[in-house]
A and B are shown apart, each in its own frame.
Chain A
Amino acid sequence: GESVGLHLPTLSVQEGDNSIINCAYSNSASDYFIWYKQESGKGPQFIIDIRSNMDKRQGQRVTVLLNKTVKHLSLQIAATQPGDSAVYFCAENNANAGNMLTFGGGTRLMVKP
């Protein structure tokens, strides 16, 4: 299958622990942020999003935190499972630039059983 590439920051966690994946974004005008998960052999898959007028949003086992002061985004995964092993990308969207998404470089999450 298709793979992303081997030269990524890697986070290794024990099954059942919580994971925190961080992302720094560049454009203070970005109004919408998204986290994507990419498993080996597949295209990126939407996980959760947050608008710039919020600082926290929760989904099922996932939470996204947004700190606009330092332009920092994080994804928290509770009770990490082997199926969470993947590469995670943050993306920022600027509605004033044709809704073009700009992606971060990605972080590889490895879950140890």
Chain B
Amino acid sequence: EAQVTQNPRYLITVTGKKLTVTCSQNMNHEYMSWYRQDPGLGLRQIYYSMNVEVTDKGDVPEGYKVSRKEKRNFPLILESPSPNQTSLYFCASSPTIAGSSYNEQFFGPGTRLTVL
């Protein structure tokens, strides 16, 4: 089944304890992205990647890191989480070809992160 998977689905942690949320897609998509979703603010893009070893900042990259060492995986890393990073996180992928405007994105099921 073609899908985007995220792990963990739920995570409660404390301020300053490094964590990684994994994202994997099995559709051979070039483009992957991370969003956070907060009440009243909709979905905001954190980082995106056009292809392996190519990553760029989105709207709200502060406090996050990503890596794209292989096509299928795009982990989101919080080196020192803070309470303002408590949110619902979505990973997405799309088959966008560089230069194309086509960008139907397929979303994972979400990760609920709480930072105490």
Cβ 8 A contact of B42, one of A2, A34, A89 = A89
Which residues A3-43 have CB closer than 8 A to chain B? 4-8, 31-32, 34, 41-43
8 shortest A-B CB distances, which residue pairs? A5-B39, A43-B107, A95-B101, A103-B43, A105-B42, A2-B110, A103-B42, A32-B101
Which residues B1-24 have CB closer than 8 A to chain A? 4
Assess whether B114 is interfacial by the CB under 8 Å rule: no
Bound Cα distance A68, B108 (Å): 31
Cβ B105 vs Cβ A98 within 8 A: no
Q: Tally chain B residues at the interface, Cβ within 8 Å.
A: 36
**Interface residue range, chain A:** 20 to 34
Please, which residues of chain A bring their CB within 8 A of the CB of B88?
2, 4
Cβ A93 vs Cβ B43 within 8 A: no
Once A98-B56, A100-B58, A104-B42 are accepted as A-B contacts, the answer to whether A2 and B101 lie under 8 Å apart by CB is no
Interface mask (A59-101 → B, CB under 8 Å = 1, otherwise 0): 0000000000000000000000000000001010101001111
Cβ B109 vs Cβ A98 within 8 A: no
Cβ B110 vs Cβ A43 within 8 A: yes
Q: Which residue of B lies closest to A30 (CB)?
A: B101
Cβ B50 vs Cβ A103 within 8 A: no
Please, which residues of chain A bring their CB within 8 A of the CB of B33?
101
Chain B residues at the A interface, C-beta cutoff of 8 Å: 4, 31, 33, 35, 37-45, 48, 50, 56, 58-59, 88, 90, 92, 94, 96, 99-110, 112
Chain A residues at the B interface, C-beta cutoff of 8 Å: 2, 4-8, 31-32, 34, 41-46, 49, 51, 89, 91, 93, 95, 98-106
Cβ A44 vs Cβ B43 within 8 A: yes
Bound Cα distance A32, B106 (Å): 16
Once A43-B107, A44-B90, A49-B104 are accepted as A-B contacts, the answer to whether A98 and B48 lie under 8 Å apart by CB is yes
